[in-house]
Amino acid sequence: MKSHIPVTEAAFELKLSVDTIRRWEKKGLIKATRDKNNHRLFDKTELQKAYDKYVTGGDSHPFQILKSNTLHEVTCIELFAGAGGLALGLKNAGIKSEMLVEIDKDAAETLKQNFPEWNVVCDDARNVDYTGVKADIVSGGFPCQAFSYAGSKLGFEDARGTLFFELLRCVKEVRPKIVLGENVRGLLRHDNGRTLSTMVSLLEEQGYRVRYKVARAQYLDVPQKRERLIIWGIRNDLDYDFYFPKERDYTISMREALKNIPDSLGQKYPARKAEIMKLIPPGGYWRDLPLDLQKEYMRASFYMGGGKTGMARRLAWDEPSLTLTCAPAQKQTERCHPSETRPLTVREYARIQTFPDTWEFCGKMTSQYKQIGNAVPVNLGYYLGKCILNMMKLESTPHEAELSMLSKNTFEEDLPLFSQAF
């Protein structure tokens, strides 16, 4: 019996239109793979779960913050640690933090507030000395910066001045078993692909085998359509296999994620904006407004090209959230509550990023939003931690981490089928 079927067969079996199946895929509610003829195929089990959820109104998959009861003697140094999403996720998987480096004072204070025992270094990564520091893993979500190309190939010193160089310097001095880098999907195409290609070459120069792939958080117990490029490096002398998070056959809705959410700080709309946003239905955006209000709200953007689907956007209860940014009420990436006419609150932001309600964020409200919006979702960090433990042969959890079938790094091979979250 076939486990994957084409869109026409899926529509026939579920008695739905082909457009409905395609719309589910475009929204990131179901996944698609491609056959040898480049045709989309859909998993039958996943289709049935989507049908039960979106057509018959059946139960959604419950929201939970994933946590293991086993703590391993595996340590990690993390650069650009932010508010601790990745660090907490790795901890929940069973990995200890050896050192956390973060330049932002509010984010560093957040780390210290929630785990006073963590070794938090609040400083520019350029100033950190790793002498005598040992760790099994070096990780970091470095900013995406172009390199200055003086020749055909860059070496270690040629990367100096970029923050990736600081991650590389830590790797060179500490010599971890595994390197974990994470970044936006856009790094795949940054500077026509040269930035990522250079990073891979520099890690290889330091004695590491490298693989990368896009992780889609909404299939990894995160109620949010968020894509991150995951870069693994394994030291050449180690007989480890590459693993990547195994995507689930369900997504978690906003309705499940925001159950019993505690009250918290939150931005407010100006009076006129609130009047306009009140007219947007759940899951809708500016095109759902009358034409005169479209022009009033959009102003010059109304006459520009592009879909602008993030503008005047209200989230939907029965879907994952769109990608959270540094603030919930930016004009290009509006994140309005599904039923109340207001931006998402700080605690709602944190829930969607799978932080526990007990995780306290320091600083002013704008800083708290920024810390959360920039974070790695905690549950994504958990799955990455499980991948590390599978690589190191300390655990075998094929339902959480799957052996990489990638024999090489190519852009198209690593790109999943998924439309833009905005």
Per residue in 265-282, pLDDT (tens digit) is: 999 999 999 999 999 999
Tell me the average pLDDT of the chain: 90
Residue 151 has pLDDT above 50, yes or no: no
Predicted local confidence at residue 271, as pLDDT:
96
The answer to whether domain 4-54 and domain 75-249+376-414 are alike in fold is no
**What kind of fold does domain 254-374 have according to CATH?**
DNA Methylase; Chain A, domain 2 (3.90.120)
Predicted local confidence at residue 373, as pLDDT:
96
Per residue in 89-137, pLDDT (tens digit) is: 999 999 999 999 999 999 999 999 999 999 999 999 999 999 999 999 9
Q: What angle do CA 223, 227, 230 make, to 5 degrees?
A: 120
Q: What is the DSSP letter of 278?
A: T
> Taking a C-beta distance cutoff of 8 angstroms, is the pair 25, 39 a contact?
no
Predicted local confidence at residue 422, as pLDDT:
32
Per residue in 297-314, pLDDT (tens digit) is: 999 988 887 778 889 999
Active-site positions? 144
> Taking a C-beta distance cutoff of 8 angstroms, is the pair 405, 241 a contact?
no
Q: CA–CA separation, 287 vs 311, rounded Å?
A: 9
Q: In the structure, what pLDDT confidence band is assigned to residue 155 with cuts at 50, 70 and 90?
A: low
What are the residue ranges spanned by the domains of the chain?
A: 4-54, 75-249+376-414, 254-374
Domain 4-54 has CATH 2.40.340.10: no
Of residues 33 and 293, the one with the higher pLDDT is 293
Q: CA–CA separation, 47 vs 54, rounded Å?
A: 10
**What kind of fold does domain 75-249+376-414 have according to CATH?**
Rossmann fold (3.40.50)
User: What mean pLDDT comes out for the span 235-241?
Assistant: 97
Q: In the structure, what pLDDT confidence band is assigned to residue 418 with cuts at 50, 70 and 90?
A: very low
Predicted local confidence at residue 419, as pLDDT:
33
User: What mean pLDDT comes out for the span 235-248?
Assistant: 96
Residues 6+ apart with CB under 8 A from 94: 68, 70, 71, 72, 74, 385, 389, 395
